[in-house]
Amino acid sequence: MRKLIVFNNVSIDGYFVDAAGDMSWAHNMRPDAEWQAYIASNASGEGELLFGRVTYEMMASFWPTPAALERMPEVAAGMNRGRKVVFSRTLEKADWENTRLLKGDLATEVRKLKAESGGGMCVLGSGKIVAQLAEVGLIDEFHNVVVPVVIGKGRTQFEGVAKRLEFDVKSVRAFTNGNVLTIYTPRN
């Protein structure tokens, strides 16, 4: 069974996007070589990335551009060559390199993906998907980077979850730029 993780930046006050749906606040940080090395190692192109439509469109509009290749060449290369899945009932096609579009029931499609052979899978952003998959127990780990900023209003990655979810801490890692990576596993 393939492992499914979520990787999201969250503000100290618990939001993964601000009230306007923007997440640029998560990338305005002090320089940190260790952080940059960590991000580059995560963008190896191994495994498969899962997105909802909104996050997919945002990612697909940036990572294939010359600006992305100039600013973060290793991350851009991994994002572009990596396998990707976008879940959407409204998109007609997914043009970003190595992307497949799935239109069926989210939980059913993810169960099928988890049963396939291959490396792990990672949801980036995509709060609506995270909330739905967390509620039905399909996420194996939550990798949250707590960014040292308060944004006041926004959306949490668990917006819409109707039942109590509990987690155990697997690991914690602090970076000199103030980011703290917390890895949680669902408590069963």
- For 115-141, write each residue's pLDDT tens digit: 999 899 999 988 899 999 999 999 999
pTM for the model: 0.91
What is the chain's mean pLDDT, rounded?
92
Q: Do the bridges between strand 180-186 and strand 141-147 make them parallel or antiparallel, or are there none, so unpaired?
A: antiparallel
The pLDDT tens digits of the residues spanning 96-111 come to 999 999 999 999 999 9
Query: What is the secondary structure of 151-177 as a DSSP string?
Result: -SSEE-TTTT--S---EEEEEEEE-TT
pLDDT of residue 57: 94
Q: At what angle do helices 33-42 and 73-81 cross, to 10 degrees?
A: 10
Query: Could you identify the residue written with the tokens 């991994």?
Result: 78
In this predicted model, what pLDDT tens digit does every residue of 23-70 receive, in sequence order? 888 887 777 889 888 877 777 667 899 999 999 999 999 999 999 999
Query: How much is the pLDDT for 32?
Result: 86
Who contacts 11 (Cβ-Cβ below 8 Å, separation ≥6)?
A: 25, 26, 146, 147, 149, 150, 151, 154
Q: Which domains does the chain have, with CATH numbers?
A: 4-186 (3.40.430.10)
Alpha-carbon span 7 to 144, nearest angstrom: 6
